[in-house]
Amino acid sequence: MNIILFENHETDAPLRRDDHRAQHILNVLRRQVGDSIDVGLVNGPRGKAILRSVSEQNVVLEFTWGEEPPNLLPIDLIVGLSRPQTGRKILQEATSLGVRRIYFAATQRAEPSYATSKLWTTDEWKRLVRAGVEQAFSTRFPTVKFGVGLESSISECLESTNSADHRICLDNYESTGSLWEACIHAEEKGHHAPRPSVVLAVGSERGWTEKERQLFRQNGFALADLGERPLRTETATIAAISIVSAQIR
């Protein structure tokens, strides 16, 4: 982890020696009394903590807070509900890249049992998101929803982004051009916001159905692709976020 995150209430008391953060400070970073550590408040400022003392039971830190980190990218991601191992990769890496919302949507071709895996029924997904935030030296957490219907996911994204400047759905079968071209085309149509918002949709392993493609078209999405090579869902997702974020910065 590149930053150690704390909830606000945790900064007023010693950190238990068996807490994973204390273990990281002592055993991975190998900090000694008097050394400083990069820290952050969840969805708050970054800062420094001085290691004041270490006992058999506790680690005592003294916190000093600085500036707030940058806001998350105005990218809302809709992903077809995928295999748990795929979902794990997307959660952590999409979070590291800075998307602000991630919807794992129930689609016609997605396996319904994926929504009841331990990834979602335990706190595992939260730990993966936290790891992504820590990797990116940030404190900002994206909104994550799973098992939401595709139509509801689209509706929520468009409502929360005030319609969205760009609406792009990845689809290898009925694409009208590359993802990069779709971004450029949207700019040429007059979407010149200082930092335009984007809703980006990526299908699960089996892709979209014709009915789902029509739903996207009805909501103003352009169908785009990442080239001729079929990609895994997690690979396509991370590549697409990278391309879009480069375009809107």
249 residues of the chain, pLDDT tens digit each: 899 999 999 999 999 999 999 999 999 999 999 999 999 999 999 999 999 999 999 999 999 999 999 999 999 999 999 999 999 999 999 999 999 999 999 999 888 899 999 999 999 999 999 999 999 999 999 999 998 899 999 888 888 766 677 899 999 889 888 887 776 665 555 555 567 889 999 998 888 999 999 999 999 999 999 988 889 999 999 999 999 998 876
pTM reported for the whole predicted model: 0.90
DSSP state of 115: G
Q: In degrees rounded to 5, what are phi and psi of residue 240?
A: -65, -45
- Provide the Cα torsion 41, 43, 47, 49; round to 10°: 10
pLDDT for residue 186: 54
Angle of helix 233-248 versus helix 179-188 axis, rounded to 10 = 30
pLDDT for residue 177: 85
Handedness of CA 170, 172, 174, 180 (dihedral sign): positive
Question: The CATH number of 73-248 is which of 3.40.190.150, 3.40.1280.10, 3.40.50.1100, 1.10.1740.10?
Answer: 3.40.1280.10
pLDDT for residue 36: 97
Distance CA 100, CA 137 (A): 15
The fold for domain 4-65 equals Ribosomal Protein L25; Chain P (2.40.240)
**Among candidates 239, 237, 145, 162, which has minimal Cα distance to 196?**
162
User: What are the CA-CA distances from residue 10 to residues 13, 15, 40, 66 (Å)?
Assistant: 6, 8, 11, 17
Distance CA 202, CA 249 (A): 21
**What does the block give as tokens for 82?**
């995928």
Distance CA 47, CA 152 (A): 38
**What does the block give as tokens for 8?**
């606000």
pLDDT for residue 232: 93
Domain ranges of the chain: 4-65, 73-248
